Structure 1
Amino acid sequence: MRQIKDVKLGDHVCLAFAHEAEQRAVVTAFLAGGLESRERVLYFSDAPGSERVRSWLEEAGVDVASAGAARRLEFRTAQESYLSGGRFDPDTMIEMLRREVDASLAAGWAGLRVSGEMSWALAGQPGTDQLEDYERRVTGVYAVGHAVGLCQYDARLFPAERLTGLTDCHPEQAQMNALFETGTLSITPTFDADGARVLRVAGTVDHSTTPTWSAALRQAARAGGDVRVDMAELEFIDVAGIRELAVAASALTEGSSLRIRHLAPRLRQIITLVGWDAVPGLVIEQEAVRA
């Protein structure tokens, strides 16, 4: 996973988002970052009209009108890009991107920044069965170092198996910028399909990072409602860090809960042994058992 602030020329990343709030945060940061870096920005939308993305940028303080007038920011539909000619052809799309990169450099810009909404691929247009091949091959266009691409996949629409295959065609996946970050711990917001915020924890929670960990949980609790913590990428957490989960759950308003997912079995055993599983509001979500 790569935080969107760290994505740069030469990268080809994807975003598999479960809610528009996550899409908005990542896409806005990606496009605004390109404009700030004197890159030309090209955006491919699923449907006619780009008012939604324009409004995201405007609310983030981007002068969309000026960027458009200077031809630094351009919006095109899927029919004007991926499906030009009435079908999807990887060779045609890759050649078009190469031309756009050359044109951007010739105009004096630092490079080309591209983002595309990919749900058009679900409409059954001819050639869409070649999308995986395209995603693998187009990495070479970006790897030259003069362009960067962000492909957007709506996880609510793409079948899970195909979504996994498509994301695997990218060297890395993009995610929202971390709310809290130290040398060994990052806590990044993401969203469930119902719009509920989830804190994704990666790295180590120990004596050096416990203050950051505690601050993140307190901030999440102040927002109201349930606090969801995804620990799939957690490498280590000491007893003091586990205690902070119980403390945070105890401080929630009545009716709210701190819900932990992807908790390692040994950590579940520690919580049970100490008795913190009985803390009101602390919920350890059960993992689905595969047949």
Structure 2
Amino acid sequence: MGGVVRQVKDVRLGDHLCLAFAHEAEQREVASAFVTAGLERGERVLYFTDGPTGDRVRRWLEESGVDVAEAMATGRLGIRSAEDTYLAAGRFDPDAMIDALREEVDRSLAAGFAGFRVSGEMGWALRGMAGAERLEEYERRVTALFDEGVSAAICLYDTRVFPADRLSALIGSHPGRVQMNALVHEGPLRVIPSFDPAGSRVLRVAGAIDHDSATAWSAALRGAIGGNGLGGDLQIDMSELEFIDVAGLRALVRTAGELEDGRRLRVTRLAPRLNEIVRLVGWDQTTGLIIDAESFPS
């Protein structure tokens, strides 16, 4: 999937991005960071929920340090339902929705805000509402509004409920995607956290792990096992890894050994040549370390 990929801390006015998440924990982290950053920058923020109340979102924001009552009372923050926004006309009308967002942008600027940002949960599109089949059209067309550079949006899609082909089309209707902030983003190494559908943490590793990045790599692994409050296995997705030296592999083994009983470090999509090294050295027999069978060459 092409387009820009931006960490949530780097989202800027002019962005129209989507988040395809596999668990509410990832949605919560990205949405909370997006809303909080907008408030801190003096922007007006709206959040559209897929449900009748915004209690869940209020709780997220309060736990992130936002004074939700004050922000809503002063008009800096609004939390609205899909029925009052996307489906205000009793159906989904792309033209009406784009006009409504433009009014919100104009209102925000007229009130002296530095900009406008909005995030919306998109599950309502699967409930058979009239007009929902035009959602891809809407996502493509509304980009022009954000391209004006005074507003930003993150559209939230749950990968557990959207059919894969529809999800791919919707993601492709956005200029780019957003992801959680990197645990490591230095030199050639990037370690991006996410969550699997069970709520266990996943670390997606890209680039290279060598002498220069070994310390940061070890720190990321330690932080992940210490901060995975949801429990379960820690998954390391190495599909985008280009190189890892022996010291980097040793860090994996060491981390697996530090997990409490019952938890495992599961490495997926490791390159065949690296799988072979792990097996030759015997590290694949390490207690708590799982190298998924599908990663091995046939």
Question: Do the structures match in fold with TM over 0.5?
Answer: yes
Take 1:135 and 1:272, find their aligned partners in 2: how far apart are those partners? Answer: 47
Aligned to 1:232: 239
* SS of the residue 1:93 aligns to: helix
8 Å CA contact 2:187, 2:213 repeated in 1: no
Name which of structure 1's ranges 34-43 and 166-175 shifts more when overlaid on structure 2. Answer: 166-175
Q: Per the alignment, do residues 55 and 225 of structure 1 end up closer, same or farther by CA in structure 2, a change over 3 Å counting? A: closer
Matching of residue 108 in structure 1 with residue 112 in structure 2: yes
1:61 is matched by which residue type in structure 2? G
Matching of residue 82 in structure 1 with residue 86 in structure 2: yes
Structure 1 gaps of 5+ residues are: none
Aligned to 1:283: 290
| CA shift for structure 1 position 151 | 0.3
Task: Choose which of 158, 170, 174 in structure 2 pairs with 1:154.
Answer: 158
2:92 is matched by which residue type in structure 1? F
2:197 is matched by which residue type in structure 1? A
Deviations 1:70-125 (A, max 9, x none): 11111221121111211111111111111111111111111110000100000101
Q: How does 1:1-291 map to 2 (within 5 A)?
A: 1-222=5-226, 225-287=232-294
1:51 is matched by which residue type in structure 2? D
8 Å CA contact 2:200, 2:232 repeated in 1: no
Q: Structure 2-normalised TM-score?
A: 0.91
Take 1:255 and 1:154, find their aligned partners in 2: how far apart are those partners? Answer: 29
| CA shift for structure 1 position 226 | 2.6
Q: Per the alignment, do residues 133 and 225 of structure 1 end up closer, same or farther by CA in structure 2, a change over 3 Å counting? A: closer
Take 1:137 and 1:2, find their aligned partners in 2: how far apart are those partners? Answer: 21
Take 1:77 and 1:279, find their aligned partners in 2: how far apart are those partners? Answer: 49
Deviations 1:115-145 (A, max 9, x none): 0010000010111111111111111111110
* SS of the residue 1:230 aligns to: strand
Take 1:254 and 1:86, find their aligned partners in 2: how far apart are those partners? Answer: 52
Instruction: Tell me which stretches of 4 or more aligned residues in structure 1 moved more than 6 Å.
Output: none
When the two chains are superposed, the root-mean-square deviation of aligned CA atoms in Å is: 1.7
Take 1:31 and 1:121, find their aligned partners in 2: how far apart are those partners? Answer: 23
| CA shift for structure 1 position 251 | 3.3
* SS of the residue 2:13 aligns to: coil
* SS of the residue 1:190 aligns to: strand
Name which of structure 1's ranges 66-75 and 146-155 shifts more when overlaid on structure 2. Answer: 66-75
Take 1:226 and 1:99, find their aligned partners in 2: how far apart are those partners? Answer: 46
* SS of the residue 1:150 aligns to: strand
1:16 is matched by which residue type in structure 2? A
The sequence identity of aligned pairs, in percent, is: 59
| CA shift for structure 1 position 225 | 4.9
* SS of the residue 1:87 aligns to: coil
| CA shift for structure 1 position 163 | 1.2
Q: Per the alignment, do residues 80 and 248 of structure 1 end up closer, same or farther by CA in structure 2, a change over 3 Å counting? A: same
Q: Per the alignment, do residues 85 and 233 of structure 1 end up closer, same or farther by CA in structure 2, a change over 3 Å counting? A: same
Name which of structure 1's ranges 232-241 and 123-132 shifts more when overlaid on structure 2. Answer: 232-241
| CA shift for structure 1 position 208 | 0.3
1:270 is matched by which residue type in structure 2? I
Q: Per the alignment, do residues 225 and 126 of structure 1 end up closer, same or farther by CA in structure 2, a change over 3 Å counting? A: closer
* SS of the residue 2:157 aligns to: strand
State the number of aligned residues.
Answer: 288
Take 1:73 and 1:252, find their aligned partners in 2: how far apart are those partners? Answer: 41
Structure 2 gaps of 5+ residues are: none
Q: Structure 1-normalised TM-score?
A: 0.93
